[in-house]
Amino acid sequence: MTQDELKQAVAREAIRYVVDGEIIGVGTGSTANFFIDELAKIKDRIQGAVASSEATAARLASHGIRVFDLNAVDSLAVYIDGADEIDASGAMIKGGGAALTREKIVASVARQFVCIADGSKLVEVLGSFALPVEVIPMARASVMRALSALGGQPRLRLQKGSDQPLITDNGGEILDVAGLRISDPVGLETQIDHIVGVVASGLFARRGANVCLLGTPEGVKTLRFA
Ligand code: 5RP
């Protein structure tokens, strides 16, 4: 099976976690896009969705799924999104698609986080994938120094084919921090959150996944976390 077929398989399986009559939180990225396409098939069963990025909002709307502003919603039954890495405790690295801050915000309002990922995303220790951190642009250099002091090698993410910084939906910039072997995801998330100028990190540990649907050649495996 190709990686896209594995992503499609978990996207299909995730429909089982959609609660009828509710508003669904929807993530960003290629796996989330497959999920949105599946959600479109049952769109009459839900009120609509809250999007974690402008790209996701546009894709939801293109399918005729109503997009709600998060401020108009008290709680979400479920948030469904991909990940760049996930460990055996349900802690994740996210933000490969630069949407980590809104993903974290929408996930924080959801009662359940369902991670959908192909099997390559399951790791023993987080950190081989450079950790994305969103920063306020004027704090870029000072945050880079602080992240280096934590043992990482931060690099400013650029727009594809350009020497200009990539700008997020929130007007922030992304630092991708290589060289971290994250043995204490909760502790590191808290340390990075305390750096002045950081908007959010792509470490989702304090609020990790409740369930991970993992696509493997043998079928979709369901991992549940405490
Ligand atoms: C976007 C994300 C994505 O969930 C993550 O990058 C995984 O993407 P994909 O499903 O394309 O592998 O965090 O900010």
What confidence tens digit (pLDDT) does each residue in 18-62 have? 999 999 999 999 999 999 999 999 999 999 999 999 999 999 999
pLDDT at 70 over 90: yes
Q: Is residue 171 classed exposed, middle or buried when 0-12, 13-18 and 19+ CB atoms within 10 A define those classes?
A: exposed
Residues whose beta carbon lies within 6 Å of some atom of ligand 1: 27-31, 81-84, 94-100, 103
- Determine the pLDDT at residue 92: 98
* pLDDT of 189 over the 90 cut: yes
pTM: 0.97
**Closest to 31 (Cα-Cα) out of 16, 51, 12:** 12
Q: How many A from CA of 163 to the centre of ligand 1?
A: 23
Query: What confidence score (pLDDT) does residue 170 get?
Result: 98
Cα(22) to ligand 1 centroid in Å equals: 24
What's the mean per-residue pLDDT of the chain? 97
- pLDDT greater than 90 at residue 226: no
| Alpha-carbon gap, residue 50 to 65, rounded angstroms | 10
- Percent pLDDT > 70 in the chain is 100
Q: Whose CA is nearest to atom 7 of ligand 1?
A: 83
CA 117, 11, 81: angle at the middle one, nearest 5?
55
Q: How far apart are CA 148 and CA 155, in angstroms?
A: 10
